[in-house]
Amino acid sequence: MKTEVYSWRLSADKKAELEEEARREGTSMSALLDRVTAEWLSERRNGHGDDEAEQAALHKRVMATVGTIRSGDPTRSQRTSELVREIIRRKHVKESNAHRRRTD
């Protein structure tokens, strides 16, 4: 027996969608919401909630990029040490110039 009442605010559009779905199913709004919440809770308890699906989708997207760098330079991996040294050199020059400007 249902004895508890719960209410919340929702947009007019969402309310209209829920009412339309209840009419389409030939049920009451209360019965529709009871079924929807029961299904949602069941999915959460069984570990098949939205979070798991979202994590799987994220994992798939990340794995598609693992090992790929699109630089247009086919020799980039062979020149890694050289490129890193150049980046460090530029950073050092930039910092040295900034320090000189502050002390001048």
In a shared domain, residues 2 and 52: yes
Range of the domain at 45: 1-68
Q: Crossing angle of helices 29-45/12-25, nearest 10°? A: 100
In a shared domain, residues 59 and 101: no
In a shared domain, residues 60 and 80: no
Structure confidence at residue 49 (pLDDT):
57
- Residues 22-78 have pLDDT tens digits of 999 999 999 999 999 999 888 878 766 567 778 888 888 888 777 666 677 778 778
Confirm if 52 and 45 have CB atoms less than 8 A apart. no
In a shared domain, residues 61 and 85: no
pTM for the whole thing?
0.44
In a shared domain, residues 5 and 52: yes
Cβ neighbours of 83 (radius 10 Å) = 14
